[in-house]
Amino acid sequence: MTYEESVLRLQAIVTELEGDRLPLAQALALFEEGIARLREATTALSEADTRVQQLVESIDGSLAVADQRS
């Protein structure tokens, strides 16, 4: 699932959980799915952050990949 798909599913889960007509077992299952989608989204964001941090802008404005050993 992509980051965007995870966020959309999380929004749908929150909407469902905000209602008052879910049986406890179904609410718990949705909560567990929400935690899984949140972990997926967090991982995707972390990976994107790492990639962004690897880019270094040179004085002339060009971009290069940073040396990970520094």
N- to C-terminal Cα distance for the chain?
Answer: 33
pTM across the whole model: 0.73
Residue recorded with tokens 């994107």 = 48
What is the pLDDT, as a whole number, of residue 2? 92
C-alpha 53/C-alpha 45 separation (Å) is 12
Residue 6 has pLDDT above 70, yes or no: yes
Confidence (pLDDT) at 35:
98
Note the pLDDT tens digit of each residue in 10-64.
999 999 999 989 999 999 999 999 999 999 999 999 998 888 777 766 666 777 7
Give me the pLDDT at residue 33, please.
Answer: 98
SS3 53: helix
